[in-house]
Amino acid sequence: MKQRETSLNSPLNGHQHMEDMGDEHIPGSFETPLREDAFEMDDELKMELIEKHFREIMHVLGLDLSDDSLKGTPRRVAKMFVKEIFSGLNPKNKPEITLFENKYRYNEMLVEKDITFYSFCEHHFVPIWGKAHVAYISSGKVIGLSKLNRIVQYYARRPQVQERMTVQIANELKAVLDTEDVAVLIDAKHMCVAARGVQDTASSTVTAYYGGRFKNEATKQEFLRYLSPTGE
């Protein structure tokens, strides 16, 4: 499998033409670009407007919206956008995190691997899917294991760039756990690579963030060994 790994501990530099950015997957910033009034409109109105505009897109494409199979599609797409695949845009859907005292005095690495996620490329609005692997070393608090999965899902459910998503997950873990000792690795496939453009179905993209003690080569390699199918 062909892969590329990008380390995301420092900001990316350089400018490219907009038509090139879709293929290069270069994020402009590590915050999702949102307008200040992004949540002044309620979900019902958003769905009503998306339904209207998506119906027009289908009409322009020449589809017969009176057909039984198609006439409900604009509403289904609108609901899917707002309530499901882009629900991570809305801060009200951010998972509530409860921390616990590290009563067991477990001071080693904790790894949650193979977290399946589905996201959408913000350049072409086609799927990104893969596995996220996250780890941290406790600074005195621990987090419920399912919350690690929920954090990944929250940031995946928005139009994304994989590099940005990797850093957003890492920054959230650092803030919640009050530690720099976090690592995030994402291995994903992109439909904008597989279904259009170069049409390469075999490749995947790997991005990684290493903070605090994970910048130490021995600690990093320990984390990567846990991700190996053989553990070696």
Catalytic residue numbers read 121-124, 162, 190, 192
Residue with tokens 């976090």: 182
Q: Write out the two tokens for 105.
A: 């005095």
Q: Give the distance between the most distant pair of CA atoms in the chain.
A: 64
Q: Per-residue DSSP letters for 93-135?
A: GSPP--EEE-TT---SEEEEEEEEEEEEETTT--EEEEEEEEE
Interstrand relation of 141-143 and 127-137 (parallel, antiparallel or unpaired) = unpaired
Residue 176: other Cβ atoms inside 10 A = 19
The residues that bridge with 142 in the sheet, in sequence order, are 100
Position 54, amino acid: F
102 within 8 A of 178, measured Cβ to Cβ: no
Q: How far apart are CA 30 and CA 25, in angstroms?
A: 13
Scored b (16 or more CB within 10 A) or e, 128-159 reads: bebbbbbbbbbeeebbeeebbbebbbbbbbbb
**Phi and psi angles of residue 121, each rounded to the nearest 5 degrees, phi first:** -65, 130
